Amino acid sequence: MCHRILGDARLYALLRTFDLDLAAAARAGGCECGGVLHVANYRRKPRGGSGEEDDLRFSFCCDREGCRARATPPSLRFLGRRVFLGAVVVLVSAMMNGLTPRRVADLSSLVGASERTLRRWRTWWRTAFTESAFWRAAAGCFARPVALEALPHSLLERFVGDERERLVAALRFLSPITTTSAGSAMAS
């Protein structure tokens, strides 16, 4: 995977469009209690994006008194509560295979993440992610097993298309873990 894709404004526009579609579907579904969902978006301060249009997390709130439940649909832009955008976390983590001090320094300067943050992402992929209920259920969806020691690079390899298409497919695959409203226990 190439780091140039991280600077492609079209990628972030596409991910935002997908998030808008997910938000529209969630709002149309209404609240579990039968109430109407009203817009309750909130601002994020993500790192690694292409502009301010990336800072709005789509979310809704039930209109029924006594319920007022928040419904935050899955996202292709945000990977849970992480500060960096999901595309950055996935792609930079994938480029960390064969980690050398030089590669860590290059990746750190590319996205403005500390070496400690990059190493934390790598650890998350190999521990919390692989031990999650989501991964245990989803891992069997692939014809060839995904090499856990090479995550997320090995996950990206399971999708077809050019770099951007594979990244988008991986983010779509990971979208259930991006919100606790969608039943994820991995949003943090």
The verdict on residue 188 lying in a domain is: no
For the chain, the first-to-last Cα distance in angstroms comes to 26
The reported pLDDT for the residue numbered 78 is 92
Question: Is 185 within a domain?
Answer: no
User: Within a domain: residue 187?
Assistant: no
Give 10-residue mean pLDDT values along the chain (188 residues): 76 93 95 94 82 79 92 93 89 79 80 86 93 93 91 94 94 92 45
Any domain includes 184: no
Residue 49 has a pLDDT of 66
73 in any annotated domain: yes
Domain annotation covers residue 153:
yes
Taking the model in full, what pTM does it have?
0.87
DSSP type of residue 57: E
- Helix-strand-coil percent breakdown of the chain, rounded to 5? 50, 10, 40
Domain-located, residue 174: yes
d(CA 122, CA 140): 22
Helix or strand (DSSP H, E) at 135: helix 133-138
Instruction: Tell me how many domains the chain contains.
Output: 1
pLDDT of residue 179: 85
Round to whole Å and give the CA distance between 27 and 62. Answer: 10
Q: What is the DSSP letter of 51?
A: S
**Cα 60 to Cα 178: distance, rounded to the nearest angstrom:** 15
Q: Residue 188: what pLDDT?
A: 39
Domain that holds residue 90: 3-178
DSSP 140-164: GGSSS---GGGTTHHHHTTS-SSHH
In a domain, 186, yes or no: no
Give pLDDT, residue 167. Answer: 95
